[in-house]
Amino acid sequence: GNSVTQMEGPVTLSEEAFLTINCTYTATGYPSLFWYVQYPGEGLQLLLKATKADDKGSNKGFEATYRKETTSFHLEKGSVQVSDSAVYFCALSDHTGTASKLTFGTGTRLQVTL
């Protein structure tokens, strides 16, 4: 079956530090890959996505590249802000059936301090 593995958190960084959150996946075929962000007390928001190999998703300074050879989709940001503090979820969708189910990783909590 499908699975998504994320690095365990929490990750604590100082403001303006470089961020990497690792994500690897196992899936049949060619899934689409996503990063979602969840701010405290809120639902999930789509941060970025990539639908095929070598695609780079980007949004709000965050980037992730779909690497089929390493089955990875690591999230990066060059300079984090306190407002980036949230839980980040890596997810995949395998496009099977009539409804494409999402498989989520366990989430990585990011805490950015001044």
Tell me: does residue 59 bind other proteins (CB under 8 A): no
Q: Are 54 and 4 in contact (CB under 8 A)?
A: no
Q: Is 3 a binder of other proteins (CB under 8 A)?
A: no
Tell which positions 85-114 bind other proteins, by CB under 8 A.
89, 93, 95, 97-102, 104-107, 109
Buried b (16+ CB within 10 A) or exposed e, 14-39: eeeeebebbbbbebeeebbbbbbbbe
3-state secondary structure of 8: coil
Q: Which of residues 67-86 bind other proteins (CB under 8 A)?
A: none
Residue 10 or 78 having the CB closest to other proteins = 10
Residues from 35 through 54 that contact other proteins (CB under 8 A): 36, 42-46, 49, 51
| Minimal distance, residue 63 CB to other proteins, in Å | 19
Q: Are 29 and 94 in contact (CB under 8 A)?
A: yes
Class of residue 69 by CB neighbours under 10 A (exposed 0-12, middle 13-18, buried 19+): exposed
Return residues touching other proteins (CB under 8 A): 32, 36, 42-46, 49, 51, 89, 93, 95, 97-102, 104-107, 109
